[in-house]
Amino acid sequence: MEAFLVFLTKNPLHMVLFGTAVVTGGMLIWPFISRLSKPGKEVGAAQAVQMINRRDGVVIDVREPAEFNAGHIPNAKNIPQGQLQGRVKDLQKFKAKPVIVVCATGNRSRAAAAALQKSGFDEAYTLQGGMAAWRQASLPVEK
């Protein structure tokens, strides 16, 4: 260890290269660490399509109405995240079905899916990557 520290301090370029390696390594493992720290069920766009088509899954879009109107998954129901707690009763009829919660990138929908799970929705999922991933997969979008 001491020899390594001497090597690093001998030339400033060594410190820069070592620092770059540490930062790059951290960036590579960060997605795995963040998934472990954020509990919840996630599905990719292809899995979501299968749930919608094969199991009559329901899509809940928790974006604001302006975002929703700019483009959303066909047949999605818009319930902004701030209104979700007050409208859980409206969703009770979907409790036995898979519920896929969507937002722009997948961040807001995690909290919404967790709230639905606490309300008894055992099959509440987050669309991994949100609408950005849905569009990237070239899946249909309604306006």
Please identify every residue annotated as catalytic: 103
Question: 78-83 long-range contacts, Cβ below 8 Å, gap at least 24?
Answer: 81/108, 81/111, 81/112
**For residues 109 and 13, what is the distance between their CA atoms, to the nearest angstrom?**
43
Q: How many CA atoms lie within 13 A of 28 on its CB side?
A: 6
